[in-house]
Amino acid sequence: MTSSEANDVSSSRLQSLAAGLSMLAGIVHFLVSGQYLSVWWGYGFFFICAGISQIAYAPAIFVQPLMYPAAGPGDSGHRAMMRRFYLAGAVGNAAIIGLYIITRTVGIPAVGPAAHVVDSVTLLSLATTAAEVVLVAILLQLARRSVPGD
């Protein structure tokens, strides 16, 4: 097996893990959306949108390369598109992680009826956030591998 083939297998495994973690986080966000909807529609809407985004991102990890097939071994356009795709997922999930940290330390930002209330840390929320941290790390690794010229 050449180093290029080994890199492809490794990337494929990382893509599968990223898809699974994204799906897991999205499902959890859907499961808790009702709890947040009961407090205020805006909180529930956030969790529904996060869930939709994360669930939709999971299969897109596998579909995206098919939408922009490489023209050849050194196709930098394809690699640049894949890099942007992975970075967008990393940024989106990092934003969710950042909001989690804010809502568990200083409180919910100044919107809705629970503004400035510090939300509780649960085992489920902690596990989901840990999955998102690993997801961000994997997406950044995949983005790094997609840098044109590597």
The boundaries of the domain holding residue 7 are 3-62+76-145
Return d(Cα 41, Cα 44) in angstroms, integer.
5
pLDDT of the residue at 29: 98
Encoded amino acid at 130, one letter: A
pLDDT of the residue at 68: 62
pLDDT of the residue at 69: 61
- Specify if 104 maps to a domain: yes
Q: What is the residue-level pLDDT of the chain in tens, covering all 150 positions?
A: 565 555 666 889 999 999 999 999 999 999 999 999 999 999 999 999 999 999 999 999 988 766 666 655 556 777 888 999 999 999 999 999 999 999 999 999 889 999 999 999 999 999 999 999 999 999 999 999 987 554
- Specify if 21 maps to a domain: yes
Output the CA–CA distances (angstroms, integers) from residue 79 to 55, 57, 85, 131, 132, in the order listed.
23, 18, 10, 26, 24
**How many folded domains does the chain comprise?**
1
- Specify if 69 maps to a domain: no
- Specify if 9 maps to a domain: yes
- Specify if 71 maps to a domain: no
Output the CA–CA distances (angstroms, integers) from residue 16 to 27, 57, 60, 66, 136, in the order listed.
17, 12, 11, 15, 14
- Specify if 80 maps to a domain: yes
pTM of this prediction? 0.89
Q: Would you list the DSSP string of 5-36?
A: HHHHHHHHHHHHHHHHHHHHHHHHHHHHHHHH
- Specify if 68 maps to a domain: no
